[in-house]
Each structure stands twice: as C-alpha cells, then as structure tokens.
Structure 1
Amino acid sequence: MAKITASVYTSHVPAIGAAIDLGKTQEPYWQPLFAGYDFSKEWEKAQKPDVVFLVFNDHATAFSLDMIPTFAIGTAAEYQPADEGWGPRPVPAVHGHPALAAHIAQSVIQDDFDLTIVNKMDVDHGLTVPLSLMFGQPPQSDYRWPCKVIPFAVNVVQYPVPSGNRCFQLGKAIRKAIESFDEDLNVQIWGTGGMSHQLQGPRAGLINKEWDNRFLDRLIAEPAELAKVPHIEYVREAGSEGIELVMWLIARGAMADVAGGPAPKVVYRFFHVPASNTAVGHLILENQPA
C-alpha cells in the first residue's frame, strides 16, 4: 500500500524563485535563506519519495477571479511551468501521478469533500518554488524533478476561503485515501505558503515573527487546537496573505498521530526574515512506526 512517510511545510515566495533563476542565491541578502534549505535537500536525497502531494495556492494563472475552486486536484500526467507575466520559470515540467490522483479524488469526494478535478493546468511559483527549495535545480543532464507530483490547489485568494478546521479534516481524508491505494509508494505531503505577510494597504510589509513561531510550535504539538483558529486571527496577526497558512493544516491533518498513531519526529525546523516582504518558515515532520 502507499504510505505517507513525512510532511513538509515551506513558504513559496516568488522572489525566492527569481533569486534562484537569476543566480543570486549566494548574494549576502539571500545566502542565509538558501543555507536554511541545505539540510532539506540532503534529506530528500535520502528519502527518495515516489510522489509528493503538494498543497499550494494558484496566483491567478490556472484560475482567475472568474472561476476559483475551493479545492482542486490535478489529475493530469504533466504540468507546464506557468507564465506569470515575465515568462515561465526555467524549471522542468512537473510529472503527475494520474492513477493515484484519481484514486484520491474518488475517495475524498466519497468522504463528502467537494473537489474540482483538473485535467489540464499550468503551475506557478506556488508549486515550483517549493520544488526548487527542497530538491534544488535539476541538472541539464537529467532535467526532471526527482519524483512525481500531485498538485492540490486551495483558494486562499478570494473570500470566502476554507477554514483551518476544514483543511485539517480534509488532510485526514487525504491520508485515508493515499493509504488505501494498492501500490507500494513512498508519499510525502507538503503544505506551502505563508508565513506572515501583507502585500497591500497601510500594513503592507507586516511580519510577525512571534506569531509565526508560535504557529510552528502549535502545528507540531497541538494541530487540532490550531485548526480552530479563526480567519480573523490570521489576518490580524499574520497579515492579509497570512491566511495561506491554513494550507499547512491539510498536510498536518494527514499525519499518523492525528489518526491515533505516534507523534511525528521533528526532523528539521527553520525560520528566516525577511525574504522580499515575507517571513519564511520551514518544517519537516516524519511519521514514526506504531
């Protein structure tokens, strides 16, 4: 059977992708941030996931304000990097896992979660920046990502957005679906976005380090309670775009301890400010044997 071995949490700041693509990762401003992912790259090489179920939000590339699904699962075999106004990022196409994605959709929808099935879409920095951070840039000699990816897009752009509890409960359903897939697969689930940031208005540039780190503490130790935090707290404490953090609760809800298993191992934790106008958070949790 397929098995979720770990969850990964990371910001997906577009300027990080630009720094990678323009060769700026060793510049004084950026070097401390990218050094914070050196451990993660080596960890991924050792883990060798077959599939990453990657929770992210689209930034008006695959979807627009004309039509925004609350939850959308990619079931295609391939996804091209999106042109976000300055050309697509110079990264490989993302290869999906249509069979597992279709199985997850079937299971989760039967568990009363409404998903939009997406058979074609381009993927923007919300998905490609985490891949670059965790895997590095694939060499030209083997120009592909090292595993298959199932994109899972969440609306955190246009209100109403899903509650933290809704996302947490959805994570439980995703875990159940993955673990009922009849193929031996090493699956990781990633929650991306955040941390605190606001892009407009009088509070533009807001970063709340204390709240962010408390969020990480609670994500590790008391995720069910964290899932009860209302939207207004995210907006007040973490800025208007801080609501992206509800996507981390999908990944956390898919971990074994939530279903009665042992607590996950905290493999790695990293926090850095600023990256552009955003606080960057990163966490790796591994499921432990029962």
Structure 2
Amino acid sequence: MARITAGVGTSHVPLIARAIDTDKTQEPAWKPIIDGYEFSRKWIEREKPDVVILVYNDHGVAFDMSLIPTFVIGAGESFKPADEGYGPRQIPDVIGCPDLAWHIAQSVIEDDFDITIANELDVDHGLTAPLSMMFGKRGVNDSWPCMVIPVAVNVIVYPTPSGRRCYELGKAIGRAVAAFDQDLNVQVWGTGGMSHQLQGARAGLINQEWDQNFLARLADNPEEVADISRLEYVTEAGSEGIELIMWLIMRGALPQRVKELHRFYHVPASNTAVGHIVLDAKAD
C-alpha cells in the first residue's frame, strides 16, 4: 500500500530559486539560506520519495479573478513551469502521478471536500522553488527525482479556507493515500510563508517571534495550530502570512505523533522570512 513517510514545510521565495538557477548560492546574501537546506537535501536523497504531494498557491498565473477555486489537485501527466512575466524558468517539467491524483480526488470528494481537478496546469514558483531548494539545480534537459502531485490553495482572494479546514483536508489526503493499492513512498510538502507583507503601510513586516512559535508548535501541537484564526495570521504574520495554512494540509496528512528531524529559520530573504521543517511520519 502507499504510505506517507514524511512531511516538509518550506517557504517558496522566488528569489531563492533564481539564486539557484544563476549559480549565486555561495554569495553572502544566499549562502546562509542554502546551507539551511543542506540537511534536507542529503536526507531526501536517502529517502527517495516516489511521489511528493506539493501544496502551494498560484500567484495569478493559472488562476486569476475570473476563476478562484479554493482547492485544486493536478491530475495531469505533466505540468510546465509557468511564465511569470519574464519567461518560464529553465527547469524540467514536473511529472505528475495521475493514478494517485485521481484516487485522492475521488476519496476527498467522497469525504465531503469539493476539490477542483485540473488536467492541465502551469505551475509557478510556489511549486517549483521548493523543488529547487530541496533537490538542487536542475536544467531543462534534467528531470526531477520524483513524481509530483500539485495541490493549489487559494490564499490570495478572500475568503480563504481556514487553517482548520486545511488541516482536515490534510487528514482526508492521508486517508486517501493509505487506501491506494500501489507500493509508493509518498511525502507531503506544505509551502509558503512565513511572515511577510508585500503592500500597504506594513509592507516588509516580519514577525520572528510569531514565526518561531508556529514552527515550535507544528510537530507536537497541530490541533492548537490548526485553530489559529485568519485574523491572527494577518495581524501577526502579515497579509501573506496566511500562506502558512498550507503547511497545515501537510501536517494533517501525517500521523498525530511525528518526529522533528530538522528546523531552520532565517531573516532576511528578499522581503520575507524563510522557514523550513522536516517531519518524520514513521514515528508511530
């Protein structure tokens, strides 16, 4: 049977991906961040996941004000890097896992989650930056070392889902994977955040204390973290801090008891903080 073996939480800052693409990772501005992922790169090389269910948000490329789905699952054979205004990144296409994606879609819909199914979907830095951060630089003629199922969440346009709703969707995804009849090593990644705000009077906001508290509670107190309100995310972590609800889909998909393997936090990175955590789901 398929099994979820680990969860990863990570920021998806586009400039980190650009630093990787342009070989600037050893420059003083970027080396501390890249070093913070060294454990994870070595760890995932040993773990060798077959599939990563990667939770992210689109940044106005695949979806805009004409279409605002709350939850989307990519069920296609492959997904191309999106053109975010300066041409697509020169990285490999993302290879999907349609059989598992369709199984998850059926399972969570029958579990009363109305998820949208996308057979065609261009994926932006929300999905591709974490792949580069975890797997390192890849060119267009290379390939990513695992299949990826994109799960997009609306965190751009109000009303967004609540953290609790995301956490419960994660649980539903966990049940779906456990019921899939192929032998697959599956990881779930939640991306986005941490505290940041890109506009308005509070542009540039970074709340290190709140971020660190979120990271500290995620492994051992997920029920508590799931009840953080939308208002608290926006007030304490900025308008884009709401992206952290996507980490709760990852956490919900894991067992109640997990082991924290690695935690990393760094300020500054562009105009945000970078947060990262690796959770072992084999602790039970």
Using structure 2 for the length normalisation, give the TM-score. Answer: 0.98
1:193 aligns to 2:192 (yes or no): yes
Question: 1:157 corresponds to which residue?
Answer: 156
Match of 2:125 in 1: 125
Please state how far the C-alpha of 1:138 moved relative to its aligned partner.
2.9
The structural deviation recorded for 1:289 is: 4.8
1:271 matched to 2:265? The reply is yes
In structure 2, the residue matched to 1:260 is none
1:151-206 Cα deviation digits (max 9, x unpaired):
00000000000000000000100000001000000000000000000000010000
Paired residue type of 1:137: K
Whether the 8 Å CA contact 2:90–2:139 is kept in 1: the answer is no
Mark the runs of 5 or more structure 1 residues left unpaired by the alignment: 258-262
Whether contact under 8 Å (2:259, 2:283) holds in the other structure is no
Cα distance change, pair 27–249 in 1 and its aligned pair in 2 (3 A): same
Which residue is equivalent to 1:210?
Answer: 209
Give the fraction of aligned pairs with identical amino acids, expressed as a percent. 63
Rounded to whole Å, the distance in 2 between the matches of 1:62 and 1:281 is 25
- CA distance in 1 between partners of 2:276 and 2:204 (Å): 20
Q: CA deviation at 1:25?
A: 1.1
- Post-superposition, which runs of at least 4 consecutive aligned residues in structure 1 deviate over 2 A? none
Aligned to 2:169: 170
Count of residues in Structure 1 that have an aligned counterpart in Structure 2: 284
1:55-92: CA deviations, max 9, x gaps?
Answer: 00000111111101000000000000000000111110
The alignment yields a C-alpha RMSD, in angstroms, of 1.0
CA distance in structure 1 between the partners assigned to 2:24 and 2:204 by the alignment: 22
Specify every segment of 5 or more residues in structure 2 that has no aligned partner in the other structure, as ranges: none
Deviation at 1:16, TM superposition (A): 1.0
- Aligned counterpart, 1:246: 245
| CA-to-aligned-CA distance 1:130-163 (integer Å, 9 cap, x gap) | 00000112367x7000000000000000000000
3-state SS of 1:151 partner: strand
Q: Secondary structure at the match of 1:4?
A: strand
Residues 68, 18 of structure 1: alpha-carbon distance in 2 compared, 3 angstrom cutoff:
same
Distance 1:20 1:225 in 2: 36
Instruction: Name 1:37's counterpart in structure 2.
Output: 37
Instruction: Name the structure 1 match of 2:60.
Output: 60
- Separation in structure 2 between the aligned mates of residue 148 and residue 8 of structure 1, nearest angstrom: 16
Aligned counterparts of 1:39 and 1:229: Cα–Cα separation in 2: 29
Q: Which deviations, in whole Å up to 9, do the C-alpha atoms of 1:222-262 show, x marking residues without a partner? A: 111111111010001000000000000000001112xxxxx
Write the letter of the residue equivalent to 2:243.
Answer: E
Q: Deviations over 1:97-134 (max 9, x none)?
A: 00000000000000000000101010000000000000
Aligned mates of 1:193, 1:289 — CA distance in 2: 25
Matched with 1:24 is: 24
1:9 and 1:286 map into 2 onto residues whose CA distance is: 12
